[in-house]
A and B are shown apart, each in its own frame.
Chain A
Amino acid sequence: MGLNLKSRLGTALVLSAGSALFLAACGSDNSGDDDSGTAADEGPVTIEFWGWVPGLEEAVEQWNDENPNIQVDFFRMTGDDGDKIPAAIDAGTAPDVVQMSVHSLPGHIVNNRLSDLTEVAGHLEDHFTPSAWGSVVFDGTLYAIPQDSGPTGLMYRKDIFDEHGIDVPTTWDEFIEAGRELKDADPDITIAQFSPNEIGFWVQSVWQNGGSWNGIEGDAWTVNVADPESLEVAEVWQTLLDEDLVTTVEMWTPEYWAEINAGTIATVNYAAWFPVLLEDSAESTAGNWAVAPSPTFEGSDAAGDTGGSVNVIPTGTEHVEQAAAFVEWLNTSEDGLEHLINGGIFPSAVAGLEHENLLTEEEFFGGQVINEVFAEAALTVPATWVDGPTYDLIQDAFRDEFAQVANGRKTFAEALEDLHARTVADLTDMGLSVHE
């Protein structure tokens, strides 16, 4: 505020109009990949690759040594680099291969930004877990190659459970019961936290329960945010919240880590990519944690998933086949997977789940081979989750609604009803068909 009025005024307009300027200037003549080469034998080509997994440099170096005809030029994405991608694709200046969140796929597909990979990579289906593959195929068309995923496990404070003689819960009913026992044993400790700002907790549970936020039926989208699968999750969380079995704290804040370090939150049921963050931010609790399979819903032994990242080939890329060859190597070959695993991600490829570099003993977790739990979970995740074109909006809306739940102004079920209506409206606003 104050004197910087130009910059303030600028912010609003540049935000909305800046990229429009690029769009207008560059036209819309990126007519797709019709003229792309037919084989790798047309001489050396250079593929530009944007990604963020640590150690991708070494992977690219190995590939370049072994494939003189397809040279890959790697750019490490940091910060907001992902935000540049849409404008770059629309302007026809995008990289040939891009790493992105699996949840952003449909938003890009409805804007014609991703190449159809069915022909060049459709044969890779068996290399991946069913849930990972299920989330990159839309209406029968393949738009991305899975890279990593976030199957869930229950990270819990073994010392706290042992001290109070509480059994590690294996179902959600047992989880609630364990929460009550824990509260009775020590009122300062809650079994979990409720974080309105971290929607991944919700996504993984709905996914685990065989639900989804969206679906495709014929030529229309379906909105499933308030379906029975979600309502069942709502029931669990409503109980936890109503009985004060969870503490409400925003995730990733200093406050959150203070609680974790103080040992007042006894479990974190979250994705395979979380342990490394836990280790980084809660050093003082080293050796006290263990990982068990996520509590399950009645009648199923499925685990959940938060979704992970994928590799896409933007429209307008000249060398789709060569790009696909590199992506296939990176995400399915023994060498490629080794680089990814060493970079610290949890691979979506089945072969990766058995890799010795993945299944190592973790000192932070008292020497447990925690990825055995996550690897087993990865194979049980239902292939039901379908992202919709308004994923980012839904996620943001969920956050706003869950803040109201946290404040006691709504129940989870009421919030879901409102979210359903909002999601239908957002999709309709985009001009898309919606089955109600």
Chain B
Amino acid sequence: MSISTSTTPAGSRRAWRSGVRWAPYVFLAPFVTLFLVFLVAPIVTALYTSFFSVERSGLGFGNANESVFVGFDNYVRAFSHTGFITSFGRVLLFGIVQVPVMLTLAIALALLFDSATVRWKRFFQLSVFIPYAVPAVVATLLWGFLYQPRVSPIVELLQSIGVSVDFLAPGTVLWAIANVSIWSVTGVNMIIIFAALQTVQRDVYEAARIDGASELRMALQIKLPMVLPAVFLTTLFSIIGTLQLFNEPMTLRSVTSNVTGDYTPNMAVFSATTLGGNLNLGSAMAIILGLVTFALSIIVSVASNRRKGAAA
């Protein structure tokens, strides 16, 4: 990508000027290319694929394997797929509990680290953040080990004080997964909110302190309202993350069958395509999941904008 090869001063100046027009595109090109190839193209292909179906008959042997246009058949099939629909309910329940708990923790920690009273701030911040650096699969394997009754020190400890729990029972396994994801992502959300807190002018605190506000009151009535945009941002990401839940339940499935093959929407898509070999149905499911995610994101954004507008 040579922008200027001319050697004369006048020429280089002209090239420099035209370079101004080209430079943004040159710099954008790698991103745009990758974006088109790995995000837009797959979405378009999935959309296209979702309207077709492979025509077969009899035993299915020796067929030409032709794809025929079937309109919304695959969508109808996806909506009548009980496991797929149930999985949405499951992740929503998961989100309703996991997101508030995780955000409350993240906000509390961020406020704590921002207050003047905490020592070894860097060390504790890093400790809270480190789980985020552990890949979800590894984190789940690790927690999976702690969940298994006969090898878990936690279960053993609880049993020694007379509490008998089964973290992997049908009713509790969802919360076992929530625990893993809270452990993983609280740190990063804490960092985002903490970063937002740093942008608040220090004299505001000064004034509050002079007025006799306690640290707690400052945290709840000054700091929290000022970082609300960051809180909305993290809420948005968390909700999207919840709908896309895949790695944790998929990995936990290796230690318990109480996580079914279509436990989350993404797992249902995986099952339809990889196990069932039905790319068309899987595409339709993926599009539906994408649309639901999109709709929820918009709702959260609108709510957050309205809140911001009201505050202004």
> What CA separation (Å) do A15 and B151 show in the bound complex?
34
Least Cβ–Cβ distance between B90 and chain A, in angstroms: 14
Q: Give the complex CA separation of A111 and B30 in angstroms.
A: 37
Q: How far is the CA of A197 from the CA of B54 in the complex (A)?
A: 31
Closest to A13 in B: B42
For B182, the closest partner residue in chain A by CB is: A1
A299 at the B interface (CB under 8 A): no
Question: When A253-B148, A397-B261 are in contact, do A112 and B63 touch as well, CB less than 8 Å?
Answer: yes
Of the residues B244, B255, B256, B281, contact of A429 by C-beta under 8 Å: B281
Shortest distance in angstroms between A59's beta carbon and chain B's nearest beta carbon?
A: 31
Known pairs A1-B181, A250-B254; list 6 more (Cβ under 8 Å): A3-B188, A21-B42, A107-B277, A216-B59, A392-B274, A399-B257
Q: Which of A379-436 contact B (CB under 8 A)?
A: 389-390, 392-393, 396-397, 399-400, 402-403, 406-407, 426, 429-433
CB<8 Å pairs between A and B, sample of 15: A2-B185, A2-B189, A9-B39, A9-B240, A11-B246, A16-B279, A16-B283, A17-B42, A20-B42, A109-B60, A197-B253, A249-B150, A396-B271, A403-B260, A429-B278
Beta-carbon nearest neighbor of B234 in chain A:
A2
Whether the Cβ atoms of B61 and A10 lie closer than 8 Å is no
A396 contacts across to B, CB distance below 8 A:
261, 271, 275
- A5: CB under 8 A from chain B? yes
The secondary structure that dominates the B interface is helix
Which residues on A are within 8 Å of B, measured CB to CB? 1-6, 8-21, 23-24, 28, 83, 86, 107, 109-112, 138-139, 141, 196-197, 216, 219-221, 249-250, 252-255, 258-259, 389-390, 392-393, 396-397, 399-400, 402-403, 406-407, 426, 429-433
A17-B286, A110-B60 known; A3+B269 contact, CB < 8 A: no
Q: Report A-chain residues with C-beta under 8 Å of the C-beta of B64.
A: 112
* Inter-chain contact B279/A19, CB cutoff 8 Å: yes
Interface check B79, CB cutoff 8 A = no
Residue of B nearest to A110 (CB): B60
For B87, what are the chain A residues with a Cβ–Cβ distance below 8 Å? none
Is B276's CB under 8 angstroms from A10's CB?
no
Asked whether any CB of chain A lies closer than 8 Å to the CB of B270, the reply is: yes
Residues of A close to B59: CB separation below 8 A: 110, 138-139, 216, 219-221, 432-433
Known: A255-B150, A429-B77. A21 touches B58 (CB 8 A): no
Pick the contact of A433 from B58, B145, B265 — CB < 8 Å?
Answer: B58
CB pair B60 A431 closer than 8 Å = yes
Pairwise interchain contact B258-A407, C-beta atoms closer than 8 A: yes
A253 and B261 alpha carbons, distance in the complex (Å): 18
Check B237–A2 contact: CB distance below 8 A.
yes
Q: Cα distance A8–B53 when bound, in Å?
A: 26
Q: A8-B241, A107-B277 are in contact. Are A14 and B60 (CB under 8 A)?
A: no
Give a binary string over B37-59; 1 marks a CB under 8 Å from any A CB, 0 the rest.
Answer: 01101110110110001111111
Q: How far is the CA of A13 from the CA of B145 in the complex (A)?
A: 31
Report yes or no: A1 in contact with B238, Cβ–Cβ below 8 A: yes
Min Cβ gap A199→B in Å is: 10
Q: In the complex, which residues of chain B have a beta carbon less than 8 angstroms from the beta carbon of A3?
A: 188, 237
- Closest CB of chain B to A114's CB: distance in Å? 10
Residues of A close to B212: CB separation below 8 A? none
The chain B residue sitting closest to A247, CB to CB, is: B150
A contact residues around B43 at 8 Å (CB) = 13, 17
3 nearest A-B residue pairs (beta carbon): A1-B241, A110-B60, A8-B244
User: Does B46 lie within 8 Å of A430, measured CB to CB?
Assistant: no
Check if B286 sits within 8 Å of A12, measured CB to CB. Answer: yes
Chain B residues with Cβ under 8 A from A402's Cβ?
257
Contact status A400-B260, CB under 8 Å: yes
In whole angstroms, what is the CA distance A12 to B274 when docked? 12
CB distance from A422 to the nearest CB of B (A): 10
Separation of A2 and B266 alpha carbons in the complex (Å): 16
Contact indicator B290/A110 (Cβ below 8 Å): no
Roughly how many angstroms separate A393 CA and B272 CA in the complex, as a whole number?
8
A403/B150 in contact, CB under 8 A: no
Q: Smallest distance from the beta carbon of B80 to chain A beta carbons, Å?
A: 10
In the complex, which of the residues B49, B241, B258, B273 contacts A403, with contact meaning CB atoms closer than 8 Å? B258
**Distance A255 CA – B55 CA, assembled complex (angstroms):** 45
User: Is B277 in contact with A86, judged by CB distance below 8 angstroms?
Assistant: yes
Give A117 Cβ to nearest chain B Cβ, in Å.
14
Q: Is the CB of A21 within 8 A of B279?
A: no
* CB atoms of A83 and B63 under 8 A apart: no
Flag if B254 contacts A252 (CB, 8 Å): yes
Contacts of A111 in B (CB 8 A): 54, 65, 277
In the bound complex, how far is the Cα of B59 from the Cα of A433, in angstroms? 6
B241 touches A5 (CB 8 A): yes
Chain B residues in 8 Å Cβ range of A216: 59
Contacts of A6 in B (CB 8 A): 39
**Do B286 and A15 touch across chains, with their CB atoms under 8 A apart?**
yes
Judged by a CB distance under 8 angstroms, whether B140 is at the interface is: no
Chain A residues with Cβ under 8 A from B38's Cβ? Answer: 10, 14
Closest to B259 in A: A403
Contact A12 B279 (CB under 8 A): no
A2 x B238 contact (CB < 8 A): yes
In B58-74, the 8 Å CB interface with A consists of: 58-65
A49 to B241, CA, bound (A): 41
Chain B positions within 8 Å of A393 at CB level: 271, 275-276
Partner of B273, one of A16, A28, A221: A16
Chain A residues, Cβ within 8 Å of B275: 392-393, 396
Complex Cα gap A318–B290 (Å)? 41
A430, B290: Cβ atoms closer than 8 Å = no
Q: Does B12 contact A (CB under 8 A)?
A: no
Partner of B269, one of A15, A19, A220, A390: A15
Interfacial chain B residues near A12, Cβ < 8 Å: 244, 246, 265-266, 269, 286, 289-290
Known: A5-B240, A13-B43. A254 touches B286 (CB 8 A): no
Q: A430–B57 Cα gap in the complex (Å)?
A: 9
Smallest beta-carbon distance B78→chain A, Å: 11
Contact among A15, A221, A429 with B282 in the assembled complex (CB-CB below 8 Å): A15
Contact B60 A16 (CB under 8 A): no
Instruction: Provide the bound-state CA to CA distance between A397 and B82, in Å.
Output: 13
A111–B65 CA distance with the chains assembled, in angstroms: 7
CA A367 to CA B154, docked complex, whole Å: 40
